[in-house]
Amino acid sequence: MFCSKFFWFLSLLAILQIKSRLIKLTCLPCYFQAHSWFEGIEWDKLYQMKAAFIPEVNDELDTQNFEKFEEVD
C-alpha cells in the first residue's frame, strides 16, 4: 500500500493545467528536496554516494533488467 507522501509526489507530477505545471516545474527540485519523503538525503553528496542497486549490463542493447511483455499488434 502506498503512503500519502507518495501520492503527494505523484499528484505534483500530474498537475493538469499547463500554466500551473510550468510554474511548478521551475521549482520542482525545491519541492522534492523539501518534502519529508526525501528527509535524510544529503543532496550535496548525491553524486558521490554509491547507488543502492547497480544493474549488470553486458552492452548498450542489453535489456535483461526489464520485464518481458507480449507484443500487441
Q: Where are the domains of the chain?
A: 4-48
More confident residue, 59 or 33: 59
Shortest CA distance to 9 belongs to which of 40, 41, 37?
37
DSSP code for 23: H
pTM above 0.85, yes or no: no
Res 56: pLDDT: 93
Measure the CA angle with vertex 20, ends 18 and 3; round to 5°: 105
| Residue in the structure block whose three cell numbers are 553528496 | 45
pLDDT digit string, tens, across residues 51-71 = 888 999 999 999 999 998 888
- Of these ranges, 16-20, 26-30, 67-71, the one predicted with the greatest mean pLDDT is 67-71
Sign of CA dihedral 61, 54, 47, 14: positive
Reading the block at residue 43, the C-alpha cell is: 543532496
